[in-house]
Structure 1
């Protein structure tokens, strides 16, 4: 059997003969296993991370704290996750992509169970911060794994599937937690989400193929990692793509954090199950992330990126309505636009990063989660001062900044060298 035939059977191909890289080819068994495994990793990561979001009004009431303070249960996780992502890129160079992601998923699931058993608010915050730090081993490393192992001609579609997994996880964590909390209270709800996350982690470990193109580095060389990060920051376009992640994620999380406070109050008076079911709109995010990746491959990534940002802003504006159906429609629209934006932007990082893609991905995710942490909590100040109108104005400003960042990145990429 020829070398090319062997590669076809194994699900590998070498589109770049100069580098002799063995890529997972679309339509093969290893490609499908990798896609499903990364889908499970996205599901577990985001269900564990965002399961507390529908519980914020409950935390505010049970522990007698403000909405902004209750948001720390999420903001601390995303903030420490942002810090950990930078460390994860370095650690994965020595430990390996697959091993680090496996340890992170199992650890985060067990910490969710621990949060369910924590006796007081401050301990919950400590556990949630630690959980965010542990989860940092997944997002940037997952993106790096895909960029290294998947045939570049199908990377957009695969990245879209991974982001779709994050959308499904974010939806499931929110919806299931809301339903469980309604009938069982919030502690059993967190316990069950932790158990589900552990099952997804087990599936991920069983399915993910070993890395073929990853070359590890023994030990820890600070100069190497600093040089890699600085190299990506000196790339003309990449810092603007990182900025898009910061503003888009900040806007998205702000809407989701404080929509619950608005909708459980008069005149809407939604219960936890009804509030949780609103998060089924994440299904639209799953579809939009995949569609965004595919359309980006076909029509141009920056075109679809700008469209996604505009759709997100339109959804934010729609939530200004006093009509519950229109508020829900607005959440549908902004969710679709956000995941389209994120899918394309994350794919652009892998496309334009020159080497050390794990480091480039870590910078993207650093900006992404700092936006979630800082802007998600800052939105509470606007909610406390002027209510929902102020929250929406705040998010529209963020999306305008994301749009101009996309235009700047596009000009720099297309500029003649």
Structure 2
């Protein structure tokens, strides 16, 4: 199987991971009307999904260790269609939330296993590029899920829109199985993991990794806060956006589809620390631009901010994969737990700020989260962490397999 086909497969893994995750983020008004709840409460359809990811992610490595990587990833991608259909035909808001929670349970089996698998198939430097390609796939998946749902909702019921998302989940999972190479020695890996469980948890207590987990939480908190509440801002005067226009704003994610793989190439030579710090500056600039009353300036700010977040995510994936060695699956799982717990907070914490200060309060939350990212990366992602001190802790595993 050619290297290009494998890279395409990992791009599709990223797409599958995010295709359903934020599909309901742009139809909060429609959900509010259907289930007779407030638009802010309808946003729980996003936060409950990310909460499920946070709960299950640390256990993904152990739960899937006995099984072949390709089968786990493709099966989870296809199975995601079931809770999507459930949520599409839910008769109550509690049932809808339960379906969204179930969707979140499946997502880490695509994300965490895909990132861990890149570390197994590629050397450290090449894995940086493939991780960036994977994150570009998540970018397209996040856009496609929102855009398809909003576009179809504009002339059909939102329930039918989610039915289409379900079919896209099935199709993507099938293509992934066709393109992704089969992994080897799963039983041996499971037995090896049993023997090394204690040492893995010892490795994960390192300062750089813990800082990376907190980086993930802050990164997604800023992203979810931005794109949950910007829709609520733009439906109000003087903008008065309709459902299609709200869905169209997620086209700013397409900038990241191009930029993130390029950033991956830069990170290959400059390292994840420099790349992530540059992304933090970009994210801060983007957040401040969204304070404008000009739609074009707001869209520019959203494009800069979303691109920065995906570059930060790709940098974190690469850094953790390098630092965790034999504990890679567990480390990525814990990172995902922090990442999506942060996403849940990003949907809930800014509610008070939104009610008190409107969009300015949400921007203040985003700026604070990104400042924390910058401080953690600057202090803990130093080059020496990948050198002498890391070798003493991780041994040769830091250089990949």
Partner residue of 1:302? 273
Distance, in Å, in 1 between the alignment partners of 2:19 and 2:386 is 38
In the other structure, the counterpart of 1:172 is 144
Q: Tell me what 1:81 maps to.
A: 53
The match for 1:410 is: 381
Alpha-carbon distance in 1 for matches of 2:386, 2:326: 20
**Residue 271 (1) aligns with residue 233 (2):** no
| Structure 1 residue 154, shift from structure 2 partner | 1.1
Shift of 1:398: 0.7
* Aligned 1:12-411 pairs, distance under 5 A: 29-212=1-184, 215-217=188-190, 221=194, 225=197, 227-228=199-200, 230-411=201-382
Q: Give the Å deviation of 1:212.
A: 4.0
Q: Secondary structure at the match of 2:218?
A: helix
Mark the CA change 1:226 to 1:57 in structure 2 (over 3 Å): closer, same or farther. farther
Shift in alpha-carbon separation, 1:383–1:31, aligned structure 2, 3 A: same
Q: What is the DSSP-based 3-state SS (H/G/I as helix, E as strand, rest coil) of the residue aligned with 1:159?
A: helix
Shift of 1:263: 0.7
Query: Hey, what's the Cα distance between the residues in 2 that align with 1:218 and 1:351?
Result: 22
Question: Aligned in 2, Cα 1:181/1:250: closer, same or farther, shift over 3 Å?
Answer: same
Call closer, same or farther: CA 1:414–1:362 in 2, change over 3 Å.
Answer: closer
Deviation at 1:193, TM superposition (A): 0.9
Partner of 1:13: none
SS in 2 for 1:241: helix
Secondary structure (helix, strand or coil) at the match of 1:234 reads coil
CA–CA distance in structure 2, aligned partners of residues 220 and 144 of structure 1:
14
Distance 1:266 1:399 in 2: 28
CA RMSD of aligned residues (A): 1.9
Cα distance 1:387–1:61, how it changes in 2: closer, same or farther (>3 A)? farther
SS of 2:109's equivalent in the other structure is coil
Which residue in the other structure is 1:11 paired with?
A: none
Query: Which runs of 4 or more aligned residues in structure 1 lie more than 6 Å from their structure 2 counterparts after TM superposition?
Result: none
Q: Compute the TM-score of the two structures, normalised by the length of structure 1.
A: 0.88
Give the length in aligned residue pairs.
387
CA drift of 1:291 comes to 1.5
Hey, what's the Cα distance between the residues in 2 that align with 1:125 and 1:43?
23
Contact 1:289 1:342 in 2 (8 A): no
Shift of 1:401: 0.6
- Give how far 1:300 is off: 2.5
**SS at structure 2 position matched to 1:321:** coil
In structure 1, C-alpha distance between the alignment counterparts of 2:177 and 2:387, rounded to whole Å: 43
What secondary structure sits across from 1:102 in the alignment? helix
Residues 90 and 225, structure 1, Cα contact 8 Å, conserved in 2 = no
1:213 Cα shift?
6.9
Report deviation, 1:414.
6.7
Name which of structure 1's ranges 405-414 and 136-145 shifts more when overlaid on structure 2: 405-414
CA distance in 1, matches of 2:45, 2:10: 26
- Other structure's SS at 1:354 match: helix
Superposition deviation, residue 97 in structure 1: 2.2
TM-score if structure 2 supplies the norm length?
Answer: 0.92
| CA positional deviation for 1:68 | 3.0
Stretch deviating more after TM superposition (321-330 or 60-69): 60-69
Structure 1 position 393, deviation (Å): 0.4
Report the Cα distance in structure 2 between the residues aligned to 1:276 and 1:113, rounded to whole angstroms. 21
Gaps of 5+ in 1: 1-28
Structure 2: state its 5+ residue gaps.
390-401
Which of 267-276 and 34-43 deviates more? 34-43
